[in-house]
Amino acid sequence: MGRQYIGIEQMDYVKGAVNRLEEVIKGEQSGISKKISWKGGGNFIYLELAAWNKNIINKIKLSKNLSDLEDLIEEIYEKYFLNYHVNFKEFKDKIIKEESFKLLKLNEQQKIFCEMLDLNQMYVQESEMSDANFKINKKDQDLTSKFYNK
């Protein structure tokens, strides 16, 4: 059919889209393939964004109690990008110790922890990938540069 496109997925079901593309290239006969006598062919490139703040959000969501969350405080402060509206020192030194915070349900505590993060920094930006803090390997840096024709 001569189609070219860029597909972007942000959800966890991206593996299903990759599997579907692999089957189409092999010539499977569902959808429009049978109607147009598709025989297979073509190719695609699958890339994933390098997670950053997304990493700590995953850890927050896996926490089983307030103690697990408290164990993440220093890592969050030292390593991840915080929402500039957040007074992290006040949270760490005061709010997390208040009885009203301790009485919140775990999912509410997790939500507050996640809201302290800068959601614009979920993934490593291309301009920052050479920063050693992100530990992006040279192969991935080269591929990204090639993708952007740099």
- pLDDT tens for residues 59-79? 999 999 999 999 999 999 999
Tens-digit pLDDT profile for residues 30-42:
888 888 888 888 8
- pLDDT value at 1 more than 70: no
Mean pLDDT over 108-121 rounds to 95
Q: Residue ranges per domain, the chain?
A: 1-46, 50-150
Helix, strand, coil percentages, rounded to 5, for the chain: 55, 5, 45
